[in-house]
Amino acid sequence: MTTPPPLSGSPGREEAPWYWVQFEPGRRKGNAMPPGGDLAALILGLTVSAGNVPQMWPFYRTRVDDALASRGQVPDHLVAEHMALALFASHQQGQAQLMHRPGVRLGAATRALHDRFSLEGVEGRMAAAAQARSLNAVFNHLRGLVSQLAVIGQPLDYTRLLADLRSWPFPESRSRTLRTWGSDYHAWTRTPVS
């Protein structure tokens, strides 16, 4: 397979949406904040690999092929969701507003860091994330960027970030993701990202 499986705003019509989506205005839990207990469980994913945190299992929405599951294998698309959940929880913890905001892609959100952090530091983190070749490596670099976004209260589209992570194992898809990150980050206009 040369491209990741398709990703929509929801895992499937009959299934619950991605964890962060249910808190969007107009959704079932819209305008509520994710419970602290949920966030505490999801943050465990920052240091423990996908499938190995029983507290996270109820929050996974990615379907896993029965054959893979019977062999104890965790597919890349579940690893990506695990990472997105952990990053979201890290970003959301202690915030008064929802840190998932549809349409705010990583490059544009990161550009907002220039108001608080050094240009060299932000660009260094972006470059390190962009140069990462493995899913684990990009995740480690994104952790630093997300912690900075949390400091300034800058939301991010976690459904889009999940799609970006799911693209990482596929060179052609990863290249498209990198072009999007770069063009959003280096946009000519300085419109507010909120």
- For the whole model, what pTM was predicted? 0.88
Beta carbons of 156 and 146 less than 8 angstroms apart: yes
Tens of pLDDT, residue by residue over 41-76, are 999 999 999 999 999 999 999 988 888 888 888 899
Tens of pLDDT, residue by residue over 118-131, are 999 999 999 999 99
Give the helix/strand (H/E) hosting 39: helix 36-43
Under DSSP, the state recorded for 30 is T
Confidence of residue 10 (pLDDT cuts 50, 70, 90): very low
What is the average per-residue pLDDT within 158-182? Answer: 96
Residue closest to 194 by CA, chosen among 160, 143, 152? 152
Q: Which one-letter amino acid corresponds to residue 164?
A: D
The helix/strand/coil state of 18 is coil
Classify residue 117 as exposed, middle or buried by CB count within 10 Å of its CB (0-12, 13-18, 19+): middle
Average pLDDT of the residues of the chain: 89
The helix/strand/coil state of 181 is helix
Neighbours of 115 (CB within 10 A): 8
